[in-house]
Amino acid sequence: MKSRELETKLRLLTLQLENWKKLHDLITYGLDKAKPIISSEQERQFTEVRANLLQETEYVLRQLNILDGLSGKAMNVLQRTASVRGVRDLTGEDVRRLEMEWNAVFTKLGVAQGQLKARRKQLAGQTAISYYLGRLFRRPAVAA
Amino acid sequence: MRLRRRILRRRWCAGRGGSDSLGNTPQASFLLSWLLRPFEAVETRVLILNADPVFQDRALAVFDGLDLETDVVRTFSEAIVSLLAENFDAFVIEGQPEAAMEQATNARQHFPSLRIVCLGTQAHRHDVALVGEQQKIELISYARTTGGLRRRIERFVRSIETQGAPSAEGIDPCHSLVGNLNQFSAAEILQMSCLSQRSGRFTFKSGRGNSEIYLQHGSVRHAVFGSLEGESAVAEVFRWRQGRFYFEEGVISQVQTVDRPWAHLLIDNLQKLDETLELASV
Cβ pair B54:A125 closer than 8 A = no
Task: Give dist(CA A79, CA A73) in Å, integer.
Answer: 10
Give the phi and the psi of residue A134 in degrees, each rounded to 5.
-60, -40
Q: How many structural domains comprise chain B?
A: 3
pLDDT at B4: 43
Partner-chain contact A4 B61, CB within 8 Å: yes
Which residues on adjacent β-strands are paired with residue B78? none
- Residue B266, CB half-sphere, CA atoms under 13 Å: how many? 17
What are the beta bridge partners of residue B164? Answer: none
Among partner residues A8, A56, A126, which is closest to B38 by beta-carbon distance? A126
Residues B36 and B50 reside in one and the same domain: no
Question: Is B252 inside any structural domain?
Answer: yes
Q: Are residues B132 and B220 in the same domain?
A: no
> B265 and B242: one domain?
yes
> Which residues span the domain enclosing A31?
4-137
Question: Which among B60, B71, B67, B90 has a CA at the least distance from the CA of B160?
Answer: B90
Contacts of A12 in chain B (CB under 8 A): 54
- ipTM, two decimals, is 0.80
How many CB atoms neighbour CB B17 within 10 A?
11
SS3 B220: strand
Please report, as a single letter, which amino acid is at residue B229: E
**What is the structure's pLDDT at B141?**
85
Any domain includes A143: no
Rounded-to-integer distance, Cα A85 and Cα B261, Å:
52
Provide the residue type at A71 as one letter.
Answer: S
The reply to whether residue A127 touches residue B61, judged by beta carbons under 8 angstroms, is: no
CA distance A135 to A142: 16
- Which residues are CB-contacts of B259 (< 8 A; sequence separation ≥ 6)? none
Say whether residue B64 is in contact with chain A using an 8 A CB cutoff: yes
> Residue B153's CB: how many other CB atoms inside 10 A?
21
pTM more than 0.90? no
pLDDT of residue B123: 76
Q: Do A7 and B65 touch (CB under 8 A)?
A: yes
Give the one of B36, B64, B74 whose C-beta lies nearest to A130's C-beta.
Answer: B36
Kind of pairing between the strands at B45-49 and B90-95: parallel
Task: Specify the pLDDT at position B8.
Answer: 39
Q: Which residues of B touch A7 (CB under 8 A)?
A: 64-65
Same domain, B62 and B133: yes
Instruction: Say yes or no: B181 and B150 in one domain.
Output: no
Radius of gyration of chain A from its Cα atoms, rounded to whole angstroms = 20
- Contact list in A for residue B72 (CB cut-off 8 A) is 11, 14-15
Q: Which domain CATH number covers B99?
A: 3.40.50.2300
Q: What is the DSSP letter of B42?
A: -
| CA of A93 vs chain B CAs: smallest distance (Å) | 34
Nearest residue of chain B to residue A49 (CA atoms) = B74
Among chain B residues, the shortest Cα distance to A10 is held by B64
| Domains of chain A: total | 1
Angle at B76 between CA B123 and CA A113, to 5 degrees: 100
pLDDT of residue B166: 47
> Considering only CB atoms, which chain B residues are within 8 Å of A59?
54-55
Q: So what's the pLDDT on residue B27? A: 61
Task: For residue A58, give the amino acid letter.
Answer: E
Q: Does A12 contact B64 at a Cβ distance shorter than 8 Å?
A: no
Nearest to B137, CA basis, from B180, B183, B169, B91: B91
Q: Which residues of A touch B70 (CB under 8 A)?
A: 11
Task: Say if A19 falls within a structural domain.
Answer: yes
Condensed to tens digits (0 to 9), the pLDDT of residues B15-45 reads 344 444 444 555 665 555 555 554 444 578 8
In this structure, the answer to whether residues B35 and B131 fall within a common structural domain is no
pLDDT at B162: 67
For the stretch B165-222, pLDDT in tens is 444 444 555 667 888 888 888 888 899 898 888 888 999 988 778 899 999 888 899 9
Look at residue B35 and tell me if it is in a domain: yes
What's CA B259's distance to the chain center, in Å? Answer: 27
Same domain, B185 and B237: yes
Q: Are A121 and A113 in contact (CB under 8 A)?
A: no
Residue B67 touches chain A, beta carbons under 8 Å? yes
- Check CB contact of B187 with chain A, cutoff 8 Å: no
pLDDT of residue B24: 52
Give me the domain span that covers residue B259: 177-281
Does some domain include residue A58? yes
Q: Does A121 lie at the interface with B, CB-CB under 8 angstroms?
A: no
pLDDT recorded at residue B40:
46
CB atoms within 10 A of CB B264: 10
Verify that B136 and B231 share a domain, yes or no. Answer: no
Kindly state whether residues B155 and B52 are assigned to the same domain: yes
**Contact at 8 Å (CB) between B25 and B109?**
no
Q: What is the C-alpha separation between B79 and A1, in angstroms, rounded? A: 29
Mean pLDDT estimate for chain B: 79
What three-state secondary structure class fits A64? coil
Residue B21 contacts residue B33 (beta carbons within 8 Å)? no
Q: Which of A3, A11, A59 has the highest number of chain B CBs within 10 A, making it the mutation to test binding with B?
A: A11
Q: Is B50 helix (H, G, I), strand (E, B) or coil?
A: coil
Beta pairing class for B200-206 and B209-216: antiparallel
Cβ of B64 within 8 Å of Cβ of A129? The answer is no
CA distance linking residue A19 with residue A77, whole number of Å? 13
Question: Per-residue pLDDT tens for B108-167?
Answer: 888 877 889 999 877 778 888 888 888 889 888 887 788 888 888 988 888 887 664 444
Say whether both B35 and B53 belong to one domain.
Answer: no
**Which pLDDT does position A140 carry in this prediction?**
62
* A12, part of any domain: yes
Within this chain, do residues B247 and B220 fall inside the same structural domain, yes or no? Answer: yes
Q: Over the stretch B62-76, which tens digit does the pLDDT of each residue have?
A: 898 888 888 999 999
Q: Largest alpha-carbon pair distance within chain B? A: 75
| Residue B74, phi then psi, degrees to nearest 5 | -100, -30
Residue pLDDT tens, chain A, 144 long: 778 899 999 999 999 999 999 999 999 999 998 888 889 999 999 999 999 999 999 999 999 988 887 889 999 999 999 999 999 999 999 999 999 999 999 999 999 999 999 998 888 877 777 777 776 776 666 554
Task: Please indicate if any CB of chain B lies within 8 Å of the CB of A132.
Answer: no
Looking from the CA of B6 toward its CB, the CA atoms found within 13 Å total 17
Closest CA to B220 of B236, B233, B206, B239: B233
User: Could you read off the pLDDT of B238-268 as tens digits, one per residue?
Assistant: 888 888 888 888 888 888 999 888 889 889 8
- Predicted local distance difference test score (pLDDT) of residue A51: 95
H or E segment at B123? Answer: none
* Pick among A130, A131, A136 to test the B interface (most B CBs inside 10 A): A130
